[in-house]
Amino acid sequence: MKEMLWLAAYFPLLGLEGHLLGSRCRTPAVLVADNRVVQANKEARLAGIEIGSTLATAHTILPELAHFSRDPAAEQRRLELLGHAGYHFTPRVSLAPPDAMLLEVRGSLRLPWKTHPLRGDADDRKRSACFDVPCSGLTAIMDELAARCRRLGHEGSMAAAATPLAALVLARSAAGVGTPRDDVDALRHAALVHTDLPAKDLERLANMGITRIGELHKLPAWELGKRFGPALVDYLARLTGQKADPREYIEPPETFRSSVHLLEPIRGKGALLLPMRRLLAELVRWLAKRQLGVSALTWAVEPLSGQPTEFGVEFAEPRTDDKALLALSKLKLESATLHEGAEEVMSVSLKADSTAPLAPAAVDLFAMSRRTSASSAELVDSLTAKLGHDAVRGLRIVDDHRPEHAWSFERATNLHRSTSEPRTAIHRPLWLFDPPKPVDARLFELLSGPERIETGWWDTAQQHRDYYTAVSGDGVQCWLYRDHDERWYLHGYFS
Amino acid sequence: MSDVNVLDKLCAGSGLWRARELPGHRPGSKGSGSDGIGTGFPALDAELVDHGWPSAGLTELLCAVPGIGELRLVSPALSLLCTTEDRLITWVAPPFVPYAPALQAAGIDLAKVLLVHPDSHGEALWALEQALRTGACCAVLGWLSESRLKFAELRRLQFAARQGGAWGSLFRPQDALGDPSAAELRLHLQPRHGGLLVDIVKRRSGWPVPGIELTFDNPESGVAERV
**CATH at residue A116:** 3.30.70
Interface contact A391, partner B, CB < 8 A: yes
Across residues B171-195, what is the average pLDDT?
A: 88
Across residues B47-56, what is the average pLDDT?
A: 85
What stretches of A238-339 adopt beta strand conformation (E)?
256-267, 292-303, 309-319
Please count the structural domains in chain B.
2
Point out the residue among B71, B96, B135 whose CB comes nearest to the CB of A375: B135
Same domain? B82 vs B171: yes
Which sign, positive or negative, has the C-alpha torsion A265, A271, A273, A278?
Answer: negative
Helices (H) and strands (E) in chain A, counts: 15, 18
CA distance between the termini of chain A: 77
Residues of chain A numbered 418-447 and touching chain B (CB < 8 Å) = 418-420, 422-434
Instruction: Return the CATH number at A292.
Output: 3.30.1490.100
Query: Which pLDDT belongs to residue A376?
Result: 83
Q: Which of A259-268, A390-399, A402-411, B113-122 has the highest mean pLDDT?
A: B113-122
Neighbour tally for B67: CB within 10 Å: 25
Neighbour tally for B109: CB within 10 Å: 22
Query: Which pLDDT belongs to residue A422?
Result: 55
Contacts of A492 (CB under 8 A, 6+ apart): A428, A429, A430, A431, A432, A433, A478, A479, B96, B99
Please report, rounded to a whole number, the percentage of residues in chain A having pLDDT higher than 70: 84
Name chain A contacts of B136, Cβ cutoff 8 Å: 372, 375-376, 378-379
Same domain? A360 vs A396: no
Please give the Cα distance from B121 to A297 (Å, whole number).
Answer: 29
Same domain? B103 vs B183: yes
What is the CA angle B44-B49-B55, rounded to 5?
Answer: 90
Edge-first strand order for the sheet with A488-493 is A444-455, A463-472, A477-482, A488-493, A431-438, B97-98
Q: Residue A173, CB half-sphere, CA atoms under 13 Å: how many?
A: 27
Give the CA radius of gyration of chain B: 18
Q: Is the pLDDT of residue A112 over 80?
A: no
Query: Which pLDDT belongs to residue B116?
Result: 94
Query: Which pLDDT belongs to residue B60?
Result: 92
Across residues A258-262, what is the average pLDDT?
A: 83
Query: What confidence tier does A119 reach under pLDDT thresholds 50, 70, 90?
Result: very low
Q: pLDDT, tens digit, for every residue of A200-209?
A: 999 999 998 9
DSSP letters, A183-230, are SHHHHHHSBGGGS---HHHHHHHHHTT--BHHHHHHS-HHHHHHHH-H
Across residues B60-64, what is the average pLDDT?
A: 89
Point out the residue among B71, B95, B116 whose CB comes nearest to the CB of A430: B71
Q: Is the pLDDT of residue B227 over 50?
A: no
Note down the domain range covering B27. Answer: 1-33
Same domain? B151 vs B164: yes
Same domain? A181 vs A140: yes
Structural domain includes residue B225: no
Same domain? B99 vs B14: no
Query: What confidence tier does A404 reach under pLDDT thresholds 50, 70, 90?
Result: confident
Please give the Cα distance from B162 to B182 (Å, whole number).
Answer: 12
Point out the residue among A393, A433, A494 whose CB comes nearest to the CB of B115: A393
Query: Which pLDDT belongs to residue A191?
Result: 86
Model ipTM value: 0.82
What stretch of H or E contains A306?
none
Same domain? B11 vs B119: no
Query: Which pLDDT belongs to residue B20?
Result: 57
- Determine the residue among A379, A433, A451, A490 to mutate to test chain B binding: the one whose Cβ has the most chain B Cβ atoms within 10 Å: A379
CA distance, residue A398 to nearest chain B CA (Å): 9
Query: What confidence tier does B187 reach under pLDDT thresholds 50, 70, 90?
Result: very high
Q: Is the pLDDT of residue B206 over 80?
A: no
Query: Which pLDDT belongs to residue A218?
Result: 87
CA distance, residue A309 to nearest chain B CA (Å): 24
Nearest CA among A420, A484, A477, A408 for reference residue A448: A477
Q: Is the pLDDT of residue A387 over 70?
A: yes
Note down the domain range covering A491. Answer: 392-495
Point out the residue among B109, B123, B191 whose CB comes nearest to the CB of A420: B109
Please report, rounded to a whole number, the percentage of residues in chain B having pLDDT higher than 70: 83
Across residues A478-483, what is the average pLDDT?
A: 89
Q: Is the pLDDT of residue B219 over 80?
A: no
Structural domain includes residue A115: yes
CB of B89 closer than 8 Å to CB of B139: yes
Domain boundary among A154, A171, A187: A187
Contacts of B2 (CB under 8 A, 6+ apart): none
Please report, rounded to a whole number, the percentage of residues in chain A having pLDDT higher than 90: 4
Name chain B contacts of A376, Cβ cutoff 8 Å: 87-88, 114, 136-137
Query: What confidence tier does A408 reach under pLDDT thresholds 50, 70, 90?
Result: confident
Interface contact A402, partner B, CB < 8 A: no
Nearest CA among A214, A199, A147, A192 for reference residue A9: A147
Least reliable range by pLDDT among A336-350, B106-120, B188-202, B210-224: B210-224
CB of A98 closer than 8 Å to CB of A76: yes
What is the CA angle A136-A138-A140, rounded to 5?
Answer: 65
Instruction: Return the CATH number at B161.
Output: 3.40.50.300
Across residues A380-397, what is the average pLDDT?
A: 87
Structural domain includes residue B223: no
Please count the structural domains in chain A.
3
Same domain? B2 vs B85: no
Q: pLDDT, tens digit, for every residue of A432-451?
A: 988 888 988 888 888 887 88
Point out the residue among A376, A378, A494 whose CB comes nearest to the CB of B222: A494
Query: Which pLDDT belongs to residue A71?
Result: 86
Phi, psi of B92 (to 5 degrees): -105, 120
Query: Which pLDDT belongs to residue A183?
Result: 62
Please give the Cα distance from A300 to A442 (Å, whole number).
Answer: 60
What stretches of B45-124 adopt beta strand conformation (E)?
57-63, 88-92, 97-98, 113-116
CA distance, residue A34 to nearest chain B CA (Å): 46
Query: Which pLDDT belongs to residue A64?
Result: 85
Structural domain includes residue A230: no
Query: Which pLDDT belongs to residue A22?
Result: 61
CB contact under 8 A, B114 and A391: no
Structural domain includes residue B143: yes
Structural domain includes residue B226: no
CB of A436 closer than 8 Å to CB of B187: no
Across residues B139-153, what is the average pLDDT?
A: 87
Name chain A contacts of B135, Cβ cutoff 8 Å: 375
Of B163 and A124, more confident: B163
Q: Is the pLDDT of residue B105 over 90?
A: no
Please give the Cα distance from A492 to B174 (Å, whole number).
Answer: 21
CA distance, residue B1 to nearest chain A CA (Å): 51
Structural domain includes residue A248: no
Query: Which pLDDT belongs to residue A370?
Result: 46
CB contact under 8 A, B111 and A419: yes
Name chain B contacts of A429, Cβ cutoff 8 Å: 99, 102, 222
Across residues A125-138, what is the average pLDDT?
A: 54
Q: Is the pLDDT of residue A373 over 60?
A: no
CB contact under 8 A, B134 and A394: no
Same domain? B40 vs B29: no
Residues of chain A numbered 188-227 and touching chain B (CB < 8 Å) = none
CB contact under 8 A, B101 and A406: yes
Please give the Cα distance from A337 to A388 (Å, whole number).
Answer: 14
Point out the residue among A375, A409, A428 whose CB comes nearest to the CB of B101: A428
Name chain B contacts of A383, Cβ cutoff 8 Å: 116, 127, 130-131
CA distance, residue A162 to nearest chain B CA (Å): 58
CB contact under 8 A, B136 and A378: yes
CB contact under 8 A, A431 and B115: no
Name chain B contacts of A387, Cβ cutoff 8 Å: 116-119, 123, 127
Contacts of B118 (CB under 8 A, 6+ apart): A387, A391, B92, B93, B124, B126, B127
Query: Which pLDDT belongs to residue B143?
Result: 93
Across residues B17-32, what is the average pLDDT?
A: 49
Domain boundary among A138, A157, A187: A187
Point out the residue among B70, B113, B117 whose CB comes nearest to the CB of A394: B113
CB of B107 closer than 8 Å to CB of B217: no
Query: Which pLDDT belongs to residue A175?
Result: 56
Residue in chain B closest to A470 (alpha carbons) equals B220
Q: Is the pLDDT of residue B139 over 90?
A: yes
What is the CA angle A281-A286-A291, rounded to 5?
Answer: 120
Domain boundary among A187, A218, A235: A187
Long-range contacts of B212-215 (CB under 8 A, 24+ apart): B212/B43, B212/B44, B212/B47, B213/B43, B214/B41, B214/B43, B214/B44, B214/B73
CA distance, residue B84 to nearest chain A CA (Å): 12
Q: pLDDT, tens digit, for every residue of A11-68?
A: 988 888 888 776 656 788 889 888 899 998 888 888 888 888 888 888 888 888 888 8
Neighbour tally for A3: CB within 10 Å: 10
Query: Which pLDDT belongs to residue A267?
Result: 82
Query: Which pLDDT belongs to residue B91?
Result: 95
Least reliable range by pLDDT among A142-156, A366-380, B138-152: A366-380
Q: Is the pLDDT of residue A141 over 80?
A: yes
Please give the Cα distance from A191 to B7 (Å, whole number).
Answer: 107
Same domain? B27 vs B103: no
Of A358 and B133, more confident: B133
Residue in chain A closest to B90 (alpha carbons) equals A394
In degrees to the nearest 10, what's the CA dihedral of A414, A416, A417, A419? 120
Same domain? B62 vs B149: yes
Query: Which pLDDT belongs to residue A494?
Result: 87
Across residues A142-151, what is the average pLDDT?
A: 87
Residue in chain B closest to A404 (alpha carbons) equals B99
Please report the number of interchain residue pairs, chain A to chain B, with beta-carbon separation below 8 angstroms: 186
